[in-house]
Structure 1
Amino acid sequence: MSTTLPVRVPLVTEPWGILKSLAEARRNVLSIIPDIATRQPMVSGKTGKRWHMVMDPQAIREVLLDRLDDYPKSLVTKNLLKPAIGESLFIAEGAHWRWQRRAAAPVFSHRNVMNLSPIMTAAAERTVARIEAAGPRAVNMLDEMVTTTFDVIGDVTFSGGDTFDRDKVHGAIDDYISEAGKISLFDVLGFPDWVPRPGRLMSGAALKEMKSMADSAIEARAERGHDGVPDLLDLLLEGVDPKTKRQMSTAELRDNLLTFIVAGHETTALTLSWAMYLLGFDPAVQARARAEVQDVLQGRACTGDDVEKLPYIRMIIDETLRLYPAAGIISRTAQKHDTLCGREIRPGDTVMIPIYALGRNKLLWDDPDRFDPDRFADRKSIDRYAYLPFGDGPRICIGASFALQEAVIILATLLSKFEFAPVPGKEPKPVMILTLRPEGGVWMTAKPVQRTAAG
């Protein structure tokens, strides 16, 4: 590679007015992060509204854990996502969030996640077959990873083959993220939901159809039940809040199911795509990872039981999430007067945790723009609130263990079969709308691994 560091987002080095900030945010949300956020514990300003970016781990703990109810998710976040996923776990607040979380928590128990691992293995093997069929030509690993993770989420959600058109759902999700995800001036200024948003109307029909299909599939499954290993829909249908004994209605099930589909395939696909880019960027890391995989798998398929035996693969995933977190910014709206890092917080202020800048903050990481999976060799040495790819506190991502297991299985499977090399002149560009995507794709050549007598 011609560069010594992997690709980065150029951060702001001069003050911008509200119009330029909004224009830039529509192209790439991360571009509005000031460069000083990588060198300071906190940065504040005003762009229409007062805002604060917090990179200090103790202050972050206060926002996400100690004073959770004083910092609910911001109006911007809710207005962007509510049309697609309603008042589901991701954006609900207070008691409505708590009962849903209690009802859904058993769905992602270790046992249930392990039971779903054969689906992840099968999807990874199908990806290998597609890459082999493509022959020696370059492959866009972003497209491959999106296909793979959508295969997984489709099978773990609707394993009974319910009348659910996956292609239509996939298309509706992509349309919504690409169009509705663009920051609107109305969202930033806090206009109510009923004011139409530019660019969001065109995705309304697809969303309506997607919700209708999901409702039909849920009702059909509830009537006939399901045999074999329970999938996510079965587990959600059985879910009961142990405290209130409340179960989810069809609409609540649908909104949470769509949340899991959107979050469960998009974010993992992006993590794997960025991991593939980094493995092409650093062939030595790729070779070391492949050696670990070959030593553990000995030529067989990767299963859920292998995940804990592949610590270096997990370290690569962790380092990828530090450099390219799928959710690049967490945004909250302060409800009360407070003080963070000695700075005044007023009710209505936007408090952001720029996960992208947190992972590259020079006060928290040595040479933070460098790709080095060995940072995670001793996880206890890393401050818990300096590394937040899945958030933290009570609202930590409910599917984190599912996503990590899936990512390790897929990455290990690919490395066991191929040696990957980047296509010169095709470097991806990190761009965040709702999630941090490699714009332009991750183009690689895949050379089949030569089998040794032992392997």
Structure 2
Amino acid sequence: MTRHEPIRQPVPVRVPLVTKPMGLWASLQASRRNVLSIIPDLATRQPMVSGKTGVRWHMVMDPEANRRVLRENIGNYPKSLVTKNLLRPAIGESMFIAEGAEWRWQRRTAAPVFSHRNMMALAPVMAGAARRSVERIAAAEGAPVDFLAEMVTTTFDVISDVTFSGGEGFERDAVHAAIDAYIGAAGKISLFDILGLPDWVPRPRRSFAAGGVGDMKAMADEVIEARRERGEGEVADLLDLLREGEDPQSGRKMTTSELRDNLLTFIVAGHETTALTLAWSLYLLAFDPDVQEEVCAEVDAVVSGDAATGEDVAALPAVRRVVDEALRLYPPAGMVSRTALGPDELCGREIRKGDTVILPIYALHRHRLLWDDPDAFRPDRWEGEKPERYAYLPFGDGPRVCIGASFATQEAVMILATMLKNFRFGAMPGRVPEPVMILTLRPEGGVWLRAERR
């Protein structure tokens, strides 16, 4: 095959971080363009950085302090008002939003859904979506393909099948369009969010997506009710599993609205974050053809058919290392925030009630004191000794660690291995993606690559 010259850069693309203090208005303007652009470069060199922009804030990069926020004193650090204001219109009071007892019973009910056995049962759906992606890419006949768009299509194919496999009343294109519109609208950070105003105060430029979200919720409700009458199919999907689940402590089951909010959480969060991981993984492999060749050799030795299977995943450590490194360099949730309910101390610094505590995952994953050569693409760093636990948080950690982490990892490894089984990927000079975080860390402009049949 023809070898494509990589884009000659010392490291893969990265976000230029702030080197001078920013006021409220400058922070607002920068946030509308790229939330990560408000992170000070100092955050990659110090354990904690504090300031005030409307409210007091603290960016925490110290692993032990992260442990305290996410595990040891989690009750003091609920999700911030900004996070809830952004997501509640689409996913209601699902377990992603809920706090305290309301969160605990939902989490206990849903946890068995994501068992290894259930994930393996859903693996053929992932393989089928990967094969359809291969067919679409092959149809391009070597022309450049935007792999951000392609991976979004593929992972939405997966999540819609494993969530509503029957498809009765579920209009995929309409739901997909509603999700895209909402993500684009919700991501426009508002001054009201930064100031912590309640979500009943209207947000300019965000309300236009409400109609699509309402239609999406109504459609999901109809599907859930239809499933109650029909019963589950041959292979239980996420709707079946969640509908049958009950809290082992109280025996409580989810109502239609609770099922809907949680299923929409899986759809909204589940497909885009995995698509981003895959798009960035392919960009990195095109960026470093030597690594691509090494990983392809592993795929050829393990994957016997045209698509990876669930059983192949454990035998593909090199593919997994690329996924882990993509999640380190470009974590989909590049920044998360919490609101302190009471006083505390982090890194020897006072935390007051009402302070915003920010975990800038993007900076944490590139911290000079925690990682060797932090801006470089080096999948080999995942061989042998693993990094400090709270220095790597693509799925969060503690009791509220992402419930779908194993699902997402299996899906990403299977789809990436299938891509590499069928194609070699080459970078396109002049078409370098820009990492921009609005709601998630996306490659702005897409990930345009050439894919040549092997």
Scaled by the length of structure 1, the TM-score of the pair is 0.98
Matched, 1:79 2:54: no
Instruction: Report the counterpart of residue 453 of structure 1 in structure 2.
Output: none
Instruction: Report the counterpart of residue 145 of structure 2 in structure 1.
Output: 139
Once the two structures are superposed, residues 148-201 of structure 1 have per-residue CA deviations (whole angstroms, 9 ceiling, x without a partner) of 000000100111122111111100110011112211111111111111101111
Instruction: Report the counterpart of residue 194 of structure 2 in structure 1.
Output: 188
Instruction: Report the counterpart of residue 35 of structure 1 in structure 2.
Output: 41
Please, which of 369, 375, 384 is the counterpart of residue 381 of structure 2?
A: 375
Aligned mates of 1:131, 1:181 — CA distance in 2: 30
Aligned mates of 2:131, 2:324 — CA distance in 1: 23
Please, which of 196, 201, 216 is the counterpart of residue 207 of structure 2?
A: 201
Aligned mates of 2:230, 2:305 — CA distance in 1: 40
Aligned mates of 1:115, 1:279 — CA distance in 2: 29
Aligned mates of 1:309, 1:206 — CA distance in 2: 42
Aligned mates of 1:56, 1:15 — CA distance in 2: 21
Gaps of 5+ in 2: 1-6
Q: Which secondary structure state, in structure 1, belongs to the residue aligned with residue 57 of structure 2?
A: strand
Q: Which letter maps to 2:381?
A: R
Matched, 1:12 2:2: no
Instruction: Report the counterpart of residue 58 of structure 1 in structure 2.
Output: 64
Aligned mates of 1:227, 1:19 — CA distance in 2: 54
Matched, 1:446 2:451: yes
Aligned mates of 2:165, 2:123 — CA distance in 1: 13
Matched, 1:345 2:351: yes
Matched, 1:306 2:315: no
Please, which of 272, 275, 281 is the counterpart of residue 269 of structure 1?
A: 275
Aligned mates of 1:286, 1:19 — CA distance in 2: 44
Aligned mates of 2:435, 2:126 — CA distance in 1: 27
Q: Which letter maps to 2:425?
A: F
Aligned mates of 1:312, 1:2 — CA distance in 2: 24
Instruction: Report the counterpart of residue 420 of structure 1 in structure 2.
Output: 425
- Partners of 2:130 and 2:307 within 8 A in 1: no
Aligned mates of 2:267, 2:292 — CA distance in 1: 30
Q: Which secondary structure state, in structure 1, belongs to the residue aligned with residue 402 of structure 2?
A: coil
Pairing 1:20-419 to 2, within 5 Å after superposition = 20-378=26-384, 380-419=385-424
Q: Which secondary structure state, in structure 2, belongs to the residue aligned with residue 116 of structure 1?
A: helix
Aligned mates of 2:409, 2:373 — CA distance in 1: 25
Q: Which letter maps to 2:298?
A: E
Aligned mates of 1:227, 1:172 — CA distance in 2: 27
Q: Which secondary structure state, in structure 2, belongs to the residue aligned with residue 253 of structure 1?
A: helix
Scaled by the length of structure 2, the TM-score of the pair is 0.98
Q: Which letter maps to 1:68?
A: I
- Partners of 2:306 and 2:422 within 8 A in 1: no
Q: Which secondary structure state, in structure 2, belongs to the residue aligned with residue 381 of structure 1?
A: coil
Offset, 1:61: 0.2
Which aligned segments of 4 or more residues in structure 1 are displaced greater than 2 angstroms? 298-301
Q: Identity, % of aligned pairs? A: 67
Offset, 1:298: 3.4
Aligned mates of 2:318, 2:75 — CA distance in 1: 37
CA RMSD in angstroms comes to 0.7
Offset, 1:381: 3.3
Instruction: Report the counterpart of residue 4 of structure 2 in structure 1.
Output: none
Q: Which secondary structure state, in structure 1, belongs to the residue aligned with residue 59 of structure 2?
A: strand
Matched, 1:429 2:434: yes
Please identify, of 182-191 and 48-57, the stretch whose mean Cα deviation from structure 2 is larger. Answer: 182-191
Q: Which letter maps to 1:80?
A: L
Q: Which letter maps to 2:62?
A: D
Once the two structures are superposed, residues 244-277 of structure 1 have per-residue CA deviations (whole angstroms, 9 ceiling, x without a partner) of 1111111110000000001110100000000010
Aligned mates of 1:435, 1:300 — CA distance in 2: 31
Aligned mates of 2:133, 2:273 — CA distance in 1: 18
Please identify, of 297-306 and 26-35, the stretch whose mean Cα deviation from structure 2 is larger. Answer: 297-306
| Count of paired positions | 448
Offset, 1:301: 2.8
Q: Which letter maps to 2:20?
A: E
Aligned mates of 1:253, 1:334 — CA distance in 2: 29
Once the two structures are superposed, residues 24-73 of structure 1 have per-residue CA deviations (whole angstroms, 9 ceiling, x without a partner) of 10110000000000001000000010000000000000000000101000
Q: Which secondary structure state, in structure 2, belongs to the residue aligned with residue 163 of structure 1?
A: coil
- Partners of 2:307 and 2:417 within 8 A in 1: no
Please identify, of 188-197 and 229-238, the stretch whose mean Cα deviation from structure 2 is larger. Answer: 188-197
Gaps of 5+ in 1: 450-455
